[in-house]
């Protein structure tokens, strides 16, 4: 019930009717329409994978999902919806973690899942242009034989789409090396809320011709238009990659370790990921990756996964081995042990532990997810303070909150604080919010480092954005989408 409170009170939209379905049938083939309304009359169960989010925390009530195959079809649908006052939720792989990809009420869902063409690839520049519905992993597989990689990677790669990645400005596991999408996206094709196609699908690396409009859509979470095409700069595939899981006796060692790792590995360091002890245990318990040997885990308060990517295996191995030796031989070692991958399979297994935490947490219980930017030195303090707070409210026990864990992208100052509960309850939510947001604000942090605002944090935006910024965001929204049909109630209240 609380979610409905966030729906903009002033905006009124029309529900999709049977007449609308008849109109959509003129735009799209029957196979591209899923609707409980006649004459399509799909069973409600077919709609649930689009109405329910990945965490099964947010539940829409849409009657209709449209799955266009071309930008022209998207444009005709959007133009019609704008005229009719029907609200639209753009949906990619539906892996978002902030309730942005599912309706708040019965908005029409426009799924990009049928738009999966690679439009072009230039093996000299590395620029790839693709339909927004291309799955991230499929794009990586397309690039591999050409010796290129996508500049982003995340645990949801098998389901998330490049249009969804762009719309959430997804960060992920390669940000430390390749930066965020504001840098690597070169152009976008967007269907604006009145159906106009904004063609900015540039393949230029340099283009200073006034305002860079595409940046507005990167991270707009579907509130300003529908991304239908993406031009992105792929990175040359590293010739050698390696990784090592470092076990730390205490959290306080993370920062000095980061400094030392950066100093010694310099240009070959490509990831520095943090995993606290409980996150590690949950990953292993739920079959993510392969457990380390007991003696490697013993006495570890947390772990750091370091990845190197470089051009020459012998050179990189020498550096990594040198790093490990110097860390272990130090008078007061920052690490207990380091487990170095010896084969591509072991490399993947170490990554699977880190990438699998989200999945493991969702198997363990219902997760309240806080994706925050704070100074790295405070990661542990924030996890501990949150746990203590829940304990003081009498909520830290198996029937309420089972675990409070922290993991994330240390290299980018991004902590994933996950509170794993037996169920989503108003009592736990009230204990966590605004507590966590106030805590983040006290460190001058961000309440959303990489997952976005969605439906979850609209009411908390002011913890990280000034009134002036929010006012400007509202003006931009009104300029692009005067009727407010595009993903209403997301990002802005």
Smallest gap from Cβ 190 to ligand FAD, in A, equals 8
Neighbours of 138 (CB within 10 A): 17
Tokens of 147: 């010796």
Is residue 95 involved in binding ligand FAD (CB under 6 A)? Answer: yes
Nearest alpha-carbon partner for 474 in 8, 2, 80:
8
Q: Determine the distance from the C-alpha atom of residue 278 to the mean position of all C-alpha atoms in its chain, rounded to a whole number.
A: 22
Is residue 279 involved in binding ligand FAD (CB under 6 A)? Answer: no
- Pick one of 32, 167, 180, 418: the residue that binds ligand FAD (CB under 6 A): 167
- Cβ–Cβ < 8 Å for 131, 229: yes
| Residue 352 DSSP SS3 | helix
Q: Is 42 left (phi over 0), alpha (psi -120 to 50) or beta?
A: beta
Q: How far apart are CA 164 and CA 180, in angstroms?
A: 14
Q: Which residues bind ligand 2HG (CB under 6 A)?
A: 97, 155, 357-358, 369, 371, 408, 416, 418
| Residue 450 DSSP SS3 | coil
In degrees to the nearest 10, what's the CA dihedral of 342, 345, 350, 354?
160
DSSP 423: S
Write the binding mask 296 to 335 for ligand FAD: x where contact by CB under 6 A, - elsewhere.
----------------------------------------
Q: Of these partners, ligand FAD, ligand 2HG, none, which one is at the site of residue 418 (CB under 5 to 8 Å by kind)?
A: ligand 2HG
- Pick one of 60, 68, 151, 164: the residue that binds ligand FAD (CB under 6 A): 164
Q: Of these partners, ligand FAD, ligand 2HG, none, which one is at the site of residue 95 (CB under 5 to 8 Å by kind)?
A: ligand FAD
- Pick one of 68, 151, 172, 411: the residue that binds ligand FAD (CB under 6 A): 172
Residue at shortest CB range from ligand 2HG: 358
- Pick one of 60, 155, 229, 411: the residue that binds ligand FAD (CB under 6 A): 155
Nearer to ligand FAD (CB atom), residue 218 or residue 327: 218
Q: Of these partners, ligand FAD, ligand 2HG, none, which one is at the site of residue 445 (CB under 5 to 8 Å by kind)?
A: none
Percent helix, strand, coil in the chain, to 5, is 40, 20, 40
| Residue 138 DSSP SS3 | helix
Tokens of 113: 């899942």
Tell me which stretch binds ligand FAD (CB under 6 A): 153-161, 266-274, 314-322, 342-350. Answer: 153-161
- Pick one of 40, 65, 112, 485: the residue that binds ligand FAD (CB under 6 A): 112
Nearer to ligand FAD (CB atom), residue 89 or residue 254: 89
Is residue 253 involved in binding ligand FAD (CB under 6 A)? Answer: no
Smallest gap from Cβ 330 to ligand FAD, in A, equals 32
Residue found by looking up tokens 């109405």 in the block: 51
Sheet with 33-35: strands ordered across:
33-35, 64-66, 108-111, 88-91
Q: Which residues bind ligand FAD (CB under 6 A)?
A: 54, 89-97, 100-101, 112, 132, 154-156, 160-161, 163-165, 167-168, 170-173, 221-222, 226-227, 358-359, 450-451, 454, 487, 490
């Amino acid at each position: 019930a609380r979610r409905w409170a966030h729906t903009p009170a002033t905006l009124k939209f029309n529900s999709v009717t049977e007449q609308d379905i008849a109109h959509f049938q003129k735009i799209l083939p029957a196979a591209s329409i899923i609707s409980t309304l006649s004459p399509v009359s799909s069973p409600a169960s077919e709609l649930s994978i689009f109405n329910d989010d990945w965490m099964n925390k947010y539940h829409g009530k849409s009657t209709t999902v449209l799955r266009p195959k071309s930008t022209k079809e998207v444009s005709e649908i959007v133009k019609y919806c704008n005229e009719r006052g029907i609200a639209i939720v753009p949906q990619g792989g539906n892996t978002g973690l902030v309730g942005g990809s599912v309706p708040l009420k019965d908005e029409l869902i426009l799924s990009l899942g049928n738009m999966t063409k690679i439009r072009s690839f230039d093996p000299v520049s590395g620029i790839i242009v693709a339909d927004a519905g291309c799955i991230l992993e499929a794009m990586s597989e397309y690039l591999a034989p050409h010796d290129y990689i996508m500049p982003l990677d995340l645990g949801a790669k098998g389901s998330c789409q490049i249009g969804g990645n762009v719309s959430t400005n997804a960060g992920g596991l390669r940000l430390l090396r390749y930066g965020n999408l504001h840098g690597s996206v070169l152009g976008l094709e967007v269907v604006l809320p009145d159906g106009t196609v904004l063609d900015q699908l540039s393949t230029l690396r340099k283009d200073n011709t006034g305002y860079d409009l595409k940046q507005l859509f990167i991270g707009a979470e579907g509130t300003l238009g529908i991304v239908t095409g993406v031009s992105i700069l792929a990175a040359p595939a590293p010739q050698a990659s390696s990784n090592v899981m470092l076990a730390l006796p205490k959290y306080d060692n993370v920062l000095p370790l980061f400094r030392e790792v950066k100093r010694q590995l310099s240009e070959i360091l490509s990831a520095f990921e943090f995993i606290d002890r409980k996150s590690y245990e949950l990953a292993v318990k739920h079959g993510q990756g392969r457990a380390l040997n007991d003696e490697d885990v013993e006495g570890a308060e947390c772990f750091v996964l370091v990845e190197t990517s470089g051009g020459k295996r012998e050179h990189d191995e020498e550096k990594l081995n040198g790093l490990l030796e110097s860390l272990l031989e130090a008078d007061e070692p920052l690490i207990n042990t380091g487990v170095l991958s010896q084969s591509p399979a072991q490399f993947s297994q170490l990554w699977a532990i880190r990438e699998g935490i989200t999945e493991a947490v969702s198997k363990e219980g219902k997760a309240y997810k806080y994706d925050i930017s704070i100074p790295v030195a405070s990661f542990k303090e924030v996890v501990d303070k949150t746990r203590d707070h829940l304990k003081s409210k009498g909520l830290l026990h198996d029937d309420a909150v089972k675990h409070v864990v922290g993991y994330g992208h240390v290299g980018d100052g991004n902590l994933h604080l996950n509170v794993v509960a037996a169920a989503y309850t108003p009592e736990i939510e009230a204990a966590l919010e605004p507590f966590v947001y106030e805590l983040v604000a006290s460190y001058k942090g961000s309440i959303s480092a990489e997952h976005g605002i969605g439906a979850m944090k609209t009411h908390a935006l002011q913890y990280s954005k000034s009134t002036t910024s929010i006012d400007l965001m509202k003006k931009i929204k009104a300029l692009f989408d005067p009727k407010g049909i595009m993903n209403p109630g997301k990002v802005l209240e």
